[in-house]
Amino acid sequence: MERRFRMFAWSVLAYTVFVILWGAYVRATGSGAGCGAHWPLCNGEVIPRVGSEKTLVELGHRVTSGVAWVLALVLAVWARRASGPGAPVRRAAACSFVLMTTEALIGASIVLLEKVADDASIARGGWMVAHLLNTFLLLAALAMTAWYASSPRRPRLRVRGPAGWVAVAAASGALLLGASGAITALGDTLFPETSFEAGLSPAAHVFLQLRVLHPLIALVVGLLVLLGAGYLAGKRPSRTVRVLAISVAALYVAQIGLGFLNVALMAPVWLQLVHLLFADLVWLAIVLLGASALDATAAATAPARRPSGDLDVVEGEASRG
């Protein structure tokens, strides 16, 4: 596709990561109630009087989120006009817009139901998990839109054979870890002065208990992800797959280090944001690694002794190899 669309698609992805980090800052600083229980209005006004820092933070997040929604709409319309019927870039861009819309609706529901500020209910934890999962799926859709715009190759999304299941397992593990991390981050916000050991008590709030379990989940998922990245790099020996596999490994190791530092320093806001940034980068690297490994060209260049029944490749594999 044309260069301008490719640049726009990658730029929308980068901007969305920025908006996600701003949203995390809203949660970490307790600014979610800065506009009261009003949406899309702020404190019942179209142009509110900014009387506090929390109002400014929340209002800024709403404005940047609105811009992200408009960009996703432009991306979907542009992809439709620039590609033919059934083109994967068109479908990915459409999914991006739908997920951007559900992202806004989840955020609105959290505000209107007042699952913000000091609310420590289990229901709020559920909303945080839903928000995180939708965010990760949104990033995946935007990444695939940019990927399709940058490459004529098509991943085979039908899962068959070990390589496909490895890619799905790595992505599923990352989603599980992200959900755990969302609740842990909420616990860090609600109970900032509580020690790590407090989570060991059976009487501790469930958010504090997850503060203890989250590092263990991270280690288990990390082993799965690293083994999976190594397997895919060996199974699909293309340069792109190898680079992405190394990127997944490097980013995940850095993320583990940041996680333990986060625990040691009792989760300062700036470190929570860095930790989330690396979580997003790990997730994007996993998505793109899976896309590259499921690509027809990568599959065609795999060793000749590829087990029968492994990933089906798209039509014309032999002619494109």
Is 293 within 8 Å of 236 (Cβ atoms)?
yes
* Closest-CA residue to 71 (of 137, 131, 170, 142): 142
What SS3 class is residue 126?
A: helix
> What is the full per-residue pLDDT of the chain (321 aa) written as tens digits?
688 999 999 999 999 999 999 999 999 898 888 888 888 888 778 777 777 888 899 999 999 999 999 999 999 999 999 988 889 999 999 999 999 999 999 999 999 998 988 888 999 999 999 999 999 999 999 999 999 998 766 665 555 578 888 999 999 999 999 999 999 998 888 888 677 677 667 777 888 888 788 999 999 999 999 999 999 999 887 899 999 999 999 999 999 999 999 888 888 999 999 999 999 999 999 999 998 888 754 454 444 444 434 433 333 333 333
Cis, bond preceding 40 (omega within 30 deg of 0): yes
Transcribe 174-243 into DSSP letters: HHHHHHHHHHHHHHHHHSTT--GGGGGSTTS-HHHHHHHHHHHHHHHHHHHHHHHHHHHHHHS--HHHHH
3-state secondary structure of 45: strand
The model carries a pTM of 0.87
